[in-house]
Amino acid sequence: SLDENPVELRDFQLLCPPAGESKAVVYYTSLRGVRRTHEECSTVLEIVRSYGVSVDERDLSMHQAFRQELKELSQSCAVPRLFVRGRLIGGLEEVSKAHEKGLLARLLQGIRREDHSKACDGCGGARFMLCLDCNGSCKILAEDGSGEKIQCLECNENGLIRCPIC
């Protein structure tokens, strides 16, 4: 409940990402097409990871559903965006200020710990892996024996699934 959270958290807008009530969620992009955006995303991720807390990293370039989530939450797909326990902290400028003032440490208190020093054995830190059903092709054979290829329902538009390990 909010009563267990730091008082400062109440100062931030309530915009809870799906399943983000008790965690830190960062929407970002791993694409390097726009250098400044990529650097800002990398910086926010590094700041949050430096606290040793579990971070739900939602890469808009890897999964279209994350882009839609962010757009529905904030009417924008601007990244990076940090949410803590369902509250929008902001982008690089807001996260950096909160970090420098010591506020971010208080906001992240109580979030499950995670060791960021080693990559996941399943995905190598990418948070996604090839779909186990279609091997990334997004198509599978119909079960009716017709030999027809149909859309795989397990993966996203890139033939990827979220890593089941991390």
Residue 4: DSSP 8-state: G
User: First vs last Cα of the chain: how many Å apart?
Assistant: 25
Q: Which pLDDT value is given to residue 166?
A: 83
pLDDT (0 to 100) of residue 108: 96
Instruction: Evaluate whether 84 touches 108 at the Cβ level (below 8 Å).
Output: yes
Q: At what angle do helices 92-101 and 35-49 cross, to 10 degrees?
A: 30
Q: Enter the pTM of the model.
A: 0.83
Query: Could you read off the pLDDT of 83-130 as tens digits, one per residue?
Result: 999 999 999 999 999 999 999 999 999 999 988 888 889 899 889 999
Residue 19 C-beta-side C-alpha neighbours within 13 Å? 5
**Ordered structural domains, the chain, with CATH:** 9-108 (3.40.30.10), 128-162 (no CATH)
